[in-house]
Structure 1
Amino acid sequence: MYHPAGAEALFRTFRNRSDEAWLDILLSSLRVPGIDGVPMPGFPSDDLQREIHGHAGEVSLHEAHVFFREVKSYCAYAGRPIAPHRTLLDFGCGWGRMLRLFMKDIEPENLFGADSTSRFLMEARRCNPSVNFLSCQLAPPSILASESLDYVISWSVFSHLDEFLSLRWIEEFARILKPGGLLLITTQSRRFIAFCAEMRLRRASGISLEHPWYEACANSFVDEELETARYEAGQFLHAASALPPHPQSHYGEAVIPRGYVVKKWGHLFRMIDFLDNPVRLPQVLLVLQKP
């Protein structure tokens, strides 16, 4: 696939910068289109950024950087450190913000993003033509070849998909990852059940919920005691946005317990970690490795 000369120039110019220095460069690129003589990727409108992940600009880049550092750390720990020749897919890439963090560490032709929303992909390609952005359907398969990737990452996608689609995509990732490849995805934690209850309480108290997503949370997991018991029993929790046969019935709010991952996905991946630490990440991070 063709990549503009700027992509290689960016990789060569910034590849030896620290992760913290790279974040500063990306933050500067919000205002400056070229840094150290290198054209930088652009950004979509703040409205589109907020539509996808609730915030925009510097806040979005800081959140992406936190996830990026955890991914790099776990890849090194698992014996597959991030390197220029490695191949990485960001599943549910939106406008491509996560991939931007990896552009100093991985050759641009080895970076892939996939999303099922065409207008998000249009913006991703417009802002950053250096990266391979692929269209995917709601359910697999993808067009990627078997055992072609070293890493699959996915931020705040498995916090929304239902059990059927989650399992289908986990099976697809097992197909496209190389032996020893790593899958790093996030989902909601057990605390999210209580968060939804808090949103209901606020609404009942007459407090305006600032974002439509908070309204969706208030309508999710309405029987807090039952859902908590189901979580402790290792069951997949999902509150759908709509009833079948509406396509949004596969989407909503999801909470995936550790016990479920071990029981249902354990034949495909071994678990490296189930990081449930809100000081480090606002969602649970599942780190899985293909045998």
Structure 2
Amino acid sequence: MTEEHSEFVQRLAAAPSIETLPPIADPVARAPQNPPRQIQEKFVGASYATAYAEAERFVDAAFDAWPGGPDAPDTDEQLVLDFGSGWGRITRMLLRRFRADQVWSSDVDSEMTTLLHSTLPGVNAVTNAPWPPTVFAPARFDAVTAFSVFSHLSEEAHLQWAGEFARLVKPGGRVYITVLEEQFLTLVAGSQAAVAADEADAFAVNLAQVVPDALAALETVRQGDFVYAGGGGDDDGPRARSFYAWAVAPRPWVERIWGEAGFSLESWTPTGVLFDQAMVVLQRRLPEPPVVPVHRPLVRRVGGRVKRALKRALKR
């Protein structure tokens, strides 16, 4: 009896077969293919050596404060998430120290997830929604990296993702993020002054639109409050301006928000030391030990009764 196959089945069966399986990504042994320059620059503002050098500084600094230390005996069992991975430059740097099966990459852009599947086979690349929760189990990761992600998220998005990271990171694990500081708003103020003087180039014209009054926003940040600079421009694919643009998060605000989420601020490397953002290391706090009620020893209570009985007897 000849089995009848649907047209779709026949089309799948007629497709070419690959000759060999693609090798699992291992940048130490062989450099993976790069995405086109325009893709690199769109997500990073730089490309090739400049982009990778910045990523190397970030991951090297992260490993100075890695859970258990960079040479911990259980590093081979750790899992790390590169959140907002884009085209995967931070992921490549993580693959310098971890096997592909230890690394997860997550991005809101499904085209970038597809790109990672193509250029970094073996890495666990997934697409996340703009808002939590993710598909990951609680306490799944020993560490999470998020380079140039929280420097773009709105206040509500920042709050929600801080809470989600608290769910995903093991107690004692760490989160490595970058944030914009007041220097960004100083740059915007300069752009607004250039526009007012009719001396602005195209970049300055665009930058001048992100907040109505950069000097007022700068004062807000200096008072320790968050500023979301979401003006100008249109949505960029899945990155809607309602939650993704430019965000300035001063240290007191970060320490309070992440503290409420369950993290301790371990270190803050200011803007200009490593790159044009501040690098923040946050540690997931260990659970508080249960409070054991203290009861007065029984012997004291018994002794007290005996003393009272003796006093009553002596009064008779």
Unaligned runs of 5+ in 2: 1-20, 286-316
Between the aligned partners of 1:210 and 1:84, the Cα distance in structure 2 is 48
Residue equivalent to 2:279: 285
| Structure-2 change in CA distance of 1:215 and 1:148 (3 Å) | farther
Q: Secondary structure at the match of 1:250?
A: coil
| 1:106 CA drift (Å) | 1.0
Contact 2:185–2:217 (CA<8 Å) still a contact in 1?
yes
Residue equivalent to 2:221: 231
User: Residues 197-236 of structure 1 correspond to what in structure 2 (within 5 A)?
Assistant: 197-207=189-199, 209=201, 211=203, 215-236=205-226
User: Residues 101-112 of structure 1 correspond to what in structure 2 (within 5 A)?
Assistant: 101-112=93-104
| Structure-2 change in CA distance of 1:50 and 1:197 (3 Å) | same
Cα offsets for 1:117-169 (capped at 9, x unmatched): 11122212211112111100000111111001011111111111100011110
Residue equivalent to 1:94: 86
Amino acid at match of 2:34: F
Unaligned runs of 5+ in 1: 15-37
1:7 aligns with 2:24: yes
Q: 2:151 aligns with which of 148, 159, 176?
A: 159
| 1:232 CA drift (Å) | 2.2
Over the matched positions of the two proteins, sequence identity in percent amounts to: 27
Between the aligned partners of 1:87 and 1:232, the Cα distance in structure 2 is 37
Residue equivalent to 1:142: 134
Between the aligned partners of 1:120 and 1:241, the Cα distance in structure 2 is 25
TM-score (norm 1): 0.81
Residue equivalent to 2:111: 119
Contact 1:152–1:184 (CA<8 Å) still a contact in 2?
yes
User: Residues 29-108 of structure 1 correspond to what in structure 2 (within 5 A)?
Assistant: 38-75=29-66, 79-81=68-70, 83-108=75-100
Contact 1:6–1:39 (CA<8 Å) still a contact in 2?
no
| Structure-2 change in CA distance of 1:198 and 1:137 (3 Å) | same
Greater mean alpha carbon deviation, residues 186-195 or residues 80-89: 80-89
Between the aligned partners of 1:169 and 1:280, the Cα distance in structure 2 is 24
| 1:242 CA drift (Å) | 6.4
Between the aligned partners of 1:279 and 1:258, the Cα distance in structure 2 is 16
| 1:80 CA drift (Å) | 4.1
Contact 2:211–2:230 (CA<8 Å) still a contact in 1?
no
Contact 1:186–1:286 (CA<8 Å) still a contact in 2?
yes
Residue equivalent to 2:311: none
1:193 aligns with 2:210: no
| 1:262 CA drift (Å) | 2.2
Between the aligned partners of 1:172 and 1:43, the Cα distance in structure 2 is 31
Residue equivalent to 1:266: 259
| 1:279 CA drift (Å) | 2.8
Between the aligned partners of 1:107 and 1:120, the Cα distance in structure 2 is 20
Contact 1:85–1:106 (CA<8 Å) still a contact in 2?
no
Between the aligned partners of 2:100 and 2:255, the Cα distance in structure 1 is 34
Q: 1:253 aligns with which of 246, 252, 273?
A: 246
Residue equivalent to 2:270: 276
TM-score (norm 2): 0.75
| Structure-2 change in CA distance of 1:164 and 1:242 (3 Å) | farther
| Structure-2 change in CA distance of 1:247 and 1:103 (3 Å) | closer
Between the aligned partners of 2:49 and 2:199, the Cα distance in structure 1 is 28
The structure with more radius of gyration: 2
Between the aligned partners of 1:122 and 1:5, the Cα distance in structure 2 is 15
Q: Secondary structure at the match of 2:188?
A: helix
Greater mean alpha carbon deviation, residues 148-157 or residues 276-285: 276-285
Q: Secondary structure at the match of 2:139?
A: coil
Contact 1:217–1:253 (CA<8 Å) still a contact in 2?
no
